């Protein structure tokens, strides 16, 4: 699906995994993009710089090395660019790291998000879209997870900050009337992915013939979402403006009081962790050495999204199968590291 050319977007987190892929797609579709990223050293900054170098090949992209907590500089960028759409992806990611360093999540996911909301209030873009996470479903045992399910029991500080972001965004949408859509992501993977994520670690260990740490004794399931599918879902939601109280289907999360909704972006096909690991073995051609470990704090046993709302809004459901997606990642990994 292509977007009409000539529009301008502000995307935060453009040096990140998802922000890079989204920005590349927007540029291909004819958008002008101002990209904001602070290049924090949470993981390899060189990987982030190489993503930005790819984006910098386009004259339609302008990179700004700015922390989203620096509201004054962010305000100047927005005032100069006057974006039609603001897409906020910058955040402190990582479920497990939130146990070690919760302060980073307060600064980025709460204080930084507040600053972005203030900019949204001031400039009134046609649509504000932001990243949330499947982790907000927390202790809710209802499966598949629907956007209308309760999300009152987060299991990690990361999830709690992202849930707080959803609530803050709803209040701003109500008070200031900017159409607002939140995305709930489900275990996104693919080329240019984050080194702290399972697939990256699995492939790295496999190719170096080192043991792979497998948590939960391999009994977990995840609704894995390949990056191209995720980006397609986001792109299709950009022109899909929420209007208070106007539901697209019975399971629509549309607010009765604000032009606001949250949407799962996932295929609704959970895959067992061991099947995921088998795909890594097949794609690398390596016999894997598995170090079976218990569940880590905050981990969810299973994630399983309902894609009904996404389908009703866009006609699209993610469909790239795990063996295909994993093979694409392994191909990229070998190329990137010259293996």
Q: What is the CATH number of the domain that holds 113?
A: 3.40.50.720
What is the rounded CA–CA span in Å between residue 62 and residue 23? 11
DSSP 120: H
pLDDT score of 97? 80
pLDDT score of 295? 87
166 in a structural domain: yes
164 in a structural domain: yes
To the nearest whole percent, how much of the chain has pLDDT over 70? 98
Among 158, 172, 226, 260, the one annotated catalytic? 158
Q: What is the mean pLDDT of residues 72-80?
A: 95
Averaged confidence pLDDT in the chain: 94
pLDDT score of 1? 38
CB of 33 within 8 A of CB of 26? yes
In this structure, what token pair is assigned to residue 90? Answer: 């910058």
Q: What is the pLDDT of residues 319-339, one digit of tens each?
A: 999 999 999 999 999 999 999
Q: Give the total number of structural domains in the chain.
A: 1
Q: What is the mean pLDDT of residues 98-127?
A: 94
63 in a structural domain: yes
Cα torsion angle, 78, 60, 36, 313, sign: positive
Q: What is the pLDDT of residues 215-240, one digit of tens each?
A: 989 899 999 999 999 999 999 999 99
pLDDT score of 197? 92
What confidence tier does 100 reach under pLDDT thresholds 50, 70, 90?
A: confident
Length of the chain: 339
Burial 157-184 (b: 16+ CB within 10 A, else e): bbbbbbbbbbebbbebbbebebbbbbbb
Asked if residue 4 has pLDDT above 60, the reply is no
Asked if residue 2 has pLDDT above 50, the reply is no
Q: What is the pLDDT of residues 147-180, one digit of tens each?
A: 999 999 999 999 999 999 999 999 999 999 999 9
Phi, psi of 222, deg, nearest 5: -135, 145
pLDDT score of 257? 97
What is the rounded CA–CA span in Å between residue 306 and residue 269? 9
pLDDT score of 5? 53
**Residue, of 42 and 244, whose pLDDT is higher:** 244
What confidence tier does 300 reach under pLDDT thresholds 50, 70, 90?
A: confident
Degrees (nearest 5) of the Cα angle 82, 48, 227?
A: 80
53 in a structural domain: yes
153 in a structural domain: yes
Q: Is 215 exposed, middle or buried (0-12, 13-18, 19+ CB in 10 A)?
A: middle
134 in a structural domain: yes
Q: What is the pLDDT of residues 124-144, one digit of tens each?
A: 999 999 999 999 999 987 889
Q: Is beta strand 61-65 parallel, antiparallel or unpaired with respect to 85-88? A: unpaired
CB of 125 within 8 A of CB of 85? yes
pLDDT score of 93? 84
114 is catalytic: no
What is the rounded CA–CA span in Å between residue 217 and residue 189? 21
> What are the DSSP calls for 181-245, one per residue?
EEEEE-SEE-TT--TTSHHHHHHHHHHTT--EEEGGGG--EE--EEHHHHHHHHHHHTT----TT
204 in a structural domain: no
Give the domain range for residue 155. Answer: 8-186+227-266+304-319
314 in a structural domain: yes
pLDDT score of 3? 39
Give the three-state DSSP class for 65. strand
């Amino acid at each position: 699906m292509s977007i009409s050319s000539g529009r301008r977007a502000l995307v935060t987190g453009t040096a990140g995994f998802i922000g890079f892929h989204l920005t590349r797609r927007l540029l291909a579709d004819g958008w002008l993009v101002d990209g904001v990223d602070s290049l924090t050293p949470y993981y390899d900054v060189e990987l982030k710089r190489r993503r930005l170098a790819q984006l910098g090949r386009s004259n339609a992209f302008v990179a700004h090395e700015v922390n989203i907590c620096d509201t004054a500089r962010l305000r100047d960028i927005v005032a100069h660019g006057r974006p039609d759409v603001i897409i906020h992806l910058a955040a402190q990611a990582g479920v497990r790291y939130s146990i070690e360093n919760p302060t980073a999540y307060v600064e980025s996911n709460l204080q930084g998000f507040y600053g972005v909301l203030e900019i949204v209030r001031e400039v009134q873009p046609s649509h504000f879209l932001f990243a949330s996470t499947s982790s907000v479903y927390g202790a809710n045992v209802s499966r598949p997870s629907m956007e209308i399910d309760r999300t009152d029991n987060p299991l990690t500080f990361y999830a709690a900050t992202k849930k707080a972001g959803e609530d803050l965004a709803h209040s701003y949408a109500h008070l200031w009337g900017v159409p607002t859509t939140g995305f709930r992501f489900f275990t996104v993977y693919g080329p240019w992915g984050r080194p702290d994520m399972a697939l990256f670690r699995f492939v790295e260990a496999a190719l170096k013939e080192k043991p792979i740490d497998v948590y939960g004794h391999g009994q977990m399931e995840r609704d894995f979402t390949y990056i191209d599918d995720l980006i397609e879902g986001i792109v299709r939601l950009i022109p899909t403006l929420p209007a208070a109280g106007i539901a697209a289907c019975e399971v629509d999360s549309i607010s009765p009081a604000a032009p606001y909704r949250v949407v799962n972006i996932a295929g609704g096909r959970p895959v067992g962790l061991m099947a995921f690991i088998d795909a890594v073995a097949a794609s690398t051609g390596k016999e894997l050495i598995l170090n079976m470990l218990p569940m880590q704090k905050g981990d969810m046993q299973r994630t399983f999204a309902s894609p009904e709302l996404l389908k009703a809004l866009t006609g699209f459901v993610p469909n790239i199968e795990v063996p295909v997606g994993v093979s694409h990642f392994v191909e990229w990994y070998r190329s990137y590291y010259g293996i």
